[in-house]
Structure formats: C-alpha cells, structure tokens
Amino acid sequence: MSKMLPNLLRISLLAGFTVIAVSNAAFASPGHGLPFGEPAKASQATRTVTITMRDNLFTPESLTVKPGEIIRFVLVNKGELLHEFNIGTPAMQADHQDEMARMMENGMLTPMGMNQDMSTMDHSKMSGMKMEDMKHDDPNSILVEPGKKGQLTWKFTKPTKLEFACNIPGHYEAGMVGPIKFAK
C-alpha cells in the first residue's frame, strides 16, 4: 500500500482479511525495514506487549522501547469497529491517513473490516490509484477486526520520533494515537 515500502509481499484482497493480518506479522521478511526499524520474527522477541484497542483509544496509551529491542505486539480489538495498529513517524501517519481515506472512499474498507467483494467497490473514484495502493500490507501496520486479535513483531533500530496510531478515517483525530519513546 505505501509508496515507502516497495517490493514487499503483496496480498490479494480476495485472499481475505485474516490472511492480510497474519501476513503483516508473520511473513514480512526481516531486513525490509524503515529508517527506525524492521519486521522481525515472533521467536526473536525479547518482550511481548499487549495492546487493547477500543473505540477510539489504545491501552496502554504510550510505549517505551530500547534501540535494538524486538517487541511482539499482541493486538486485541475490544471495540465495535475495525482498528489499525501502525508504527511510524508523525509524517508517515499523515501520509497513511490519506491512503486509508482513499481506501474507505473506494469501498475497500468498511467500519467493520476489509471489503472482500471487489464488485461493490466504487471504481469511479479510483482515478490515480494503482492496484498496489489497494492493499493494506505494510509490515509496520496491521488491521484488526472487532472481537479479533492480531500480532506484529518489530525491531526498533534507530531512535526517532515515533507514534503508534489507528489511521482508520477519524480515529487518529479522535485520539487513537500514542507516543513511542526511546529509553536511554
């Protein structure tokens, strides 16, 4: 989906939401990272952090990590809406919010999950969107449907200003964002 992550694993929307969620966490290849970190295998995690997602907040509200630390995030959606857990800089979150808004406008996302029936999508609004933009497969991000769990494992490599956020339209603005601080 993101222009920042070329050549990463691409998953067909027809494959289903569960595959998309698992693929982000389990199959994103280590070494395809971002300036602040990269995906890792759950077996490499030095710590597990459970994040509870509600409408519209995260618990805990902030995180502290160490450079080089590998964290396995277990995401539990106890809300009634689809939520996202995305690790990125504030600028990356803003770019991703635009992508998520386009996905919602085009019918790819609904308040409850991914639209698996591409025939109901509004193709008339898709001008300027490429097929690779029509996926949610960045390794630093995962969608979790209401009542479901997901996981994402991340190695934090370089201290920078980071946030974890839900970029479903309106959720970030409603406060579903938290800082990631680096311990010294």
Query: Which class is 13-142+159-177 in CATH?
Result: mainly beta
pLDDT at residue number 136? 64
Tens digit of each residue's pLDDT (9 = 90 or more) over 139-180: 999 999 999 999 999 999 999 999 999 999 999 999 999 999
Q: Are strands 83-88 and 57-59 parallel, antiparallel or unpaired?
A: unpaired
Mean pLDDT of the chain: 78
Tens digit of each residue's pLDDT (9 = 90 or more) over 40-76: 999 999 999 999 999 989 999 999 999 999 999 999 9
- 106-135: average pLDDT: 59
pLDDT at residue number 23? 31
Distance CA 24, CA 1 (A): 12
Domain residue limits, the chain: 13-142+159-177
Q: Give the 3-state secondary structure of the chain.
A: CCCCCCCCCCCCHHHCHHHHHHHHHHHCCCCCCECCEEECCHHHCCEEEEEEEECCEEECCCEEECCCCEEEEEEEECCCCCEEEEEECHHHHHHHHHHHHHHHHCCCEECCEECCCHHHCCHHHCCCCCHHHCCCCCCCEEEECCCCEEEEEEEECCCCCEEEECCCCCCCCCCCEEEEEECC
Helices (H), 44-182: 90-105
Residue with tokens 């998520």: 100
Distance CA 173, CA 184 (A): 30
Confirm whether pTM is higher than 0.85.
no
Of 4, 13, 55, 60, the residue nearest 32 (C-alpha) = 4
Helices (H), the chain: 17-22, 90-105
